[in-house]
Structure 1
Amino acid sequence: MDCIRSFELEQMSYSIRHCLICNERRVEMKMSSENECLRCHNDKGTVKMFSNKNFMDPLEVPEELRNLTLIEQQLISRISPIINVHLLKHGGIAANGHCVTFPQCINEPAQILPLLPEEIKIIRVRKCGSVDSFKEYNVRRAEIEYALHWLKSNNPAFSDITISQDRLTKLPQNGPIQIQTIETTHDIQNSDKGPAKEQNGPGEVQGETNSCVGLPDLNVDIKHQVEQVVKEVVGPEHGKVTVGRKYVCIPWPTQSDTPLSEFTTRYFFSMAFPCLFPYSKGDFHINRPRTITSMTEWAEHLMWYGDGRFAQHPYFKFIVHNIIMRKRTFKQSSYVVKQHLGEEPITFEELKDMLQRRDNSVAQKVMYFGACLRGTTQY
């Protein structure tokens, strides 16, 4: 008991300190006599890296953007990054599976706002019989209108938008909206156990392969509804969609010549998260007196920001982490060709000749290797 009490007293003695320069709040942060953290105090530049003068402070969220639900934030966002997020039994939030981004002919962000409910790319998975009581699906028309007018006047990323009154009238005054929902009779749980043995060493693949999505309940006639949903998602330019008894085969998506890049698009995070970056300050992709090159340091700065809104956001941290990992993959990984012991190395000319002859055997030997990436099998 004495050890437990001693531990509790030590935890109670910890203090949260606030830096006046970077506006970060940390537990037991080392401070200077001027109430500056040591990082900002030791920064001898004319403009300190994480200061407001360097546009690294996203500033306080105005009243017009506070307390918006998740759906309302989606309705006023110009772009919408997508990632698989699920709720844990103890109330936490996690992201699982592989997140791959394909540019689907996106040439520019949305200019006419707000978005309509059917334009939001959110799919909800729930158990059969669940009641629609989740408050995040509630929409207030007046709050959205106030938020859009404020963003157009104060946020440079939204200065060129057009606020459509016709679209506003299609939103409920104060009520829930319909979200695309998939019901299942099975428990929804995280089944991601990492890469299978076949993924680490697939070997030779016999026969034709197809990418399919399984439909669980065969006794319900939902073929027409599924076909319409899939065609709406993939679009008319992506080829024919085949709907069978058990599977829906979707063709490989096409890519645009001018995709929207999360690595170079100016105001990317401001357009995706207007309630986190109300003035576009603090965004990674903006011009500033001192350029910050490390997205990891930028993200860590936001996670410790004073009001805690970045750390508390449902999926901002997952989007940023995914972008950081994919950026590391581009820089630190390389293609290698698997060969058996004793085989002669494949030269560049031989590899080029195999590709020109459409020899599919080379595809089974090529791997994208990244031993320096945390979370990979090679690491």
Structure 2
Amino acid sequence: MTSKFCSACLQKLLLSSFLADPSDPSSKIRATCIHCRNRSARLREKKRKALSSLDLNVPSKRPAISRTLEAPSIPLPHGRPETRSDTSTRSLPPLESQPQPPDALSIPLSHERFEIPPEAESRPQPPLPPPTDFLPADQWRFIQEFYNALDEVKMEFCLRCRERWFTMNLKNEICHTCFLRDKSSHSPFLMSTDNEMDPGEIPARLPTLTQVEEMIIARSHVQMLVHRYRGHQYHYSGHCVSFMQNNVKTVNMLPNLPSELDIVVVRPSNQVMENNPRYHSQFRADFRVRKSHVVTWLRYLKANHPDYRYITISLDRLERLPVDDDISSSFPSIVDESIIAEEDPVPDTSTGPNPPVPADFPPTNSQSMVPNLHDDTTEVDRLLAEISGRALMPPGVPAPSIRSTPLDEAAGRERIFAMAFPTLYPTGRADFNAARQRKVDLKDYARHLMCYHDGRFGRHPRWRFLIFNLLMRRRASNSARFYVSKAS
């Protein structure tokens, strides 16, 4: 074999080109030719020179005279001009014969003047946060990073459905859910104002009402509220349970009197109430009634709400409402002997026997609901309970005009939501039973309003329970219909 292919350049050359030492025919045969080996050596030398100019700690390899075209150059002492030419540089002896001064740097000279870069300054590490008393510094830093990551999660807003939620995958300010709903040629958009799915904004001039004030101006009453006073502080946290009523009461004369509302209070005995003044202020924020706020809302609803257009606002009933006071004594109450007084009652810090109700008094009770999936009470029982549980009407106050025909929930013709929650539907739009061009399921309707951009539907303590109860009743009805169809 007198020739061989090079593994680098893939050229067929004589076998002498692959010898490790061309002058010795008996030397080892390499896989690459001598030209490729010389080219690789020059590239390695260039890389080492570039690295040595950036980092002075990189050692410079001592070049071999037989493999390099130029001999290494020695830097001149400071203050002496550079007068050497290329000829004198090539005629220098090898590096081994030249004594190198101890302070000289082995940096090769080029045709251009080379400046030694300054030593790179090490960046100071950021100082650690001060140690805390309860956690190490690294754990406290992890907690701060976690909260910073939470702050970066922002809610998005869709211009079409006016919902505000997380990860809506907006495209041209339209969420992905709206894109899937309206990708066909249907008109109008499903969750739009044209399809009666936008309840509108609440005017800024309208005040915020408590739950009792909203029930006073509501035309329809679909729930009964049972408030239970807290007992021992380790056992109870304050309760308000909503019971769904099968027969919706609708009135045409407003406002409703506090004694006419479907509210029952479960309270401790009189002795416990007198010894602990904390019980008197427990539901003060929920049972607060302001006459001016009620009048403002009734006038606005009569002018802008279609279901309130023909109501009668009774001045005598308005006079029975307090200017600004707690009306918890007006509701029917049940004495619960299981509620006992605490051993160390919380002292009452209020001044005076009847302190005024603060404007921003935080609510202390929690909300819950008892579903009503079937009706097991007769009309006679309801009438007897109504007669025995209600006080007589005060003289001079006109009786409310109650609609005798019950509302049919299954028919879907009555605007129950807009009449039961006027603060959520100030203009009467977006009721579930409103006439619309494209049909919306109750589940999609509830999700849309729960994600509405101002959040008033999600914060309401009774609306979400009514929706949940309706969903459960429809699911129970569908299950019963399925089993009946299988049995028949």
CA distance in 2, matches of 1:95, 1:30: 38
Counterparts of 1:183 and 1:167 in 2: how far apart (Å)?
Answer: 29
Stretches of structure 2 lacking an aligned partner (at least 5 in a row): 1-138, 274-278, 341-364, 371-376, 379-383, 392-402
Partner of 2:162: 23
Secondary structure of the structure 2 residue equivalent to 1:7: helix
Say whether 1:279 aligns with 2:440. Answer: no
Tell whether 2:298 aligns with 1:148: yes
The CA deviation string for residues 267-322 of structure 1, in whole angstroms up to 9 with x for no partner, is 21000000001111111010122221x10110011111111111101111111100
Residue 231 of structure 1 corresponds to 387
State how 1:122-201 maps to structure 2 within 5 Å: 122-127=263-268, 128-129=272-273, 130-132=279-281, 134-177=284-327, 178-187=330-339
Distance 1:79 1:72 in 2: 14
Higher-Rg member (1/2): 2
CA contact (8 A) 2:418 2:425 kept: yes
What is the TM-score normalised by the length of structure 1?
0.64
Structure 2 counterpart SS, 1:284: coil
1:301 aligns with 2:438: no
Contact kept, 8 Å, 1:262 with 1:323, in 2: the verdict is no
Aligned to 1:333: 480
Match of residue 290, structure 1, among 405, 415, 438: 438
1:125–1:182: 8 Å Cα contact kept in structure 2?
yes
Residue deviations 1:141-198, cap 9 Å, x none? Answer: 12211211110110111111111111111111222222222232324999x9x9xxxx
* Counterpart Cα distance in 1 of 2:482 and 2:432: 30
Q: Deviations over 1:316-362 (max 9, x none)?
A: 1111100111012112225979xxxxxxxxx99xxxxxxxxxxxxxx
Query: Are 2:407 and 2:414, in contact at CA under 8 Å, matched by a contact in 1?
Result: no
- 1:114 alignment partner in structure 2: 255
Q: Does 1:40 align with 2:178?
A: yes
Residues 66 and 275, structure 1, Cα contact 8 Å, conserved in 2:
no
Contact 1:93–1:314 at 8 Å: present in 2 too? no
Counterpart amino acid of residue 70 in structure 1: Q
C-alpha spacing 1:310/1:86, structure 2 compared with 1 (3 Å) = farther
Q: Residues 277, 5 of structure 1: CA spacing in aligned structure 2 closer, same or farther, 3 A cutoff?
A: same
Runs of at least 5 residues in structure 1 that lack an aligned partner in the other structure:
195-209, 212-227, 236-255, 338-346, 349-379
For the residue of structure 2 that corresponds to 1:182, the secondary structure is strand
The amino acid across from 2:318 in the alignment is: L
Does the 8 A contact of 2:449 with 2:457 survive in 1?
yes
Q: Following TM superposition, where does structure 1 have runs of at least 4 consecutive aligned residues deviating by more than 4 angstroms? A: 2-6, 83-96, 187-190, 334-337
How far is the alpha carbon of 1:82 from its aligned partner?
1.3
* Map of 1:60 onto structure 2: 201
Q: Percent identity?
A: 31
Distance 1:299 1:336 in 2: 27
CA distance in 2, matches of 1:234, 1:115: 14
Structure 2 SS opposite 1:260 = coil
Q: Could you report, residue by residue, the CA deviation over 1:26-80 in whole angstroms, capped at 9, with x for unpaired residues?
A: 0222111x21111223414331100122110111112454311111100100011
Alpha-carbon distance between aligned partners in 1 of 2:215 and 2:241, rounded to the nearest angstrom:
19
Deviates more, 1:80-89 or 1:5-14: 80-89
Aligned 8 A contact 1:76 1:114 in 2? yes
DSSP 3-state at the match of 1:331: helix
- The alignment partner of 2:334 has SS state of strand
Aligned residues of 1:111 and 1:162 also touching (Cα < 8 A) = yes
Distance (whole Å) between structure 2 residues aligned to residue 64 and residue 74 of structure 1: 20
What is the SS of the residue equivalent to 1:135?
Answer: coil
Structure 1 residues 229 and 172: alpha-carbon distance in aligned structure 2, compared to 1, 3 A threshold? farther
Identify the residue that residue 397 of structure 2 maps to in structure 1: none
Judged with a 3 Å threshold, the aligned counterparts in structure 2 of structure 1 residues 321 and 164 are, in CA distance, closer, same or farther, namely same
Give the counterpart letter for 1:186 in structure 2: S
Q: Distance in 2 between matches of 1:60 and 1:102?
A: 31
Structure 1: how far apart are the matches of 2:152 and 2:406?
A: 52
Structure 1 match to 2:14: none
1:218-367 to 2 correspondences below 5 Å: 231-233=387-389, 258-263=405-410, 264-292=412-440, 294-334=441-481
Q: Given that residues 74 and 120 in structure 1 are in contact (C-alpha distance below 8 angstroms), is that contact kept between their aligned partners in structure 2?
A: yes
Displacement of 1:103? 2.9
Q: Give 3-state SS (helix, strand or coil) of 2:220's partner.
A: coil
Partner SS for 1:81 = strand
Instruction: Tell me which of the two structures has the higher relative contact order, counting C-alpha pairs closer than 8 angstroms and 6 or more residues apart.
Output: 1
Aligned CA RMSD, in angstroms, stands at: 3.6
State the Cα distance separating 1:92 from its structure 2 match.
8.8
How many pairs align? 279
Q: Which amino acid aligns with 1:176?
A: D
Residue in 2 that maps onto 1:239: none
Answer with 261-270 or 70-79: which moved more. 261-270
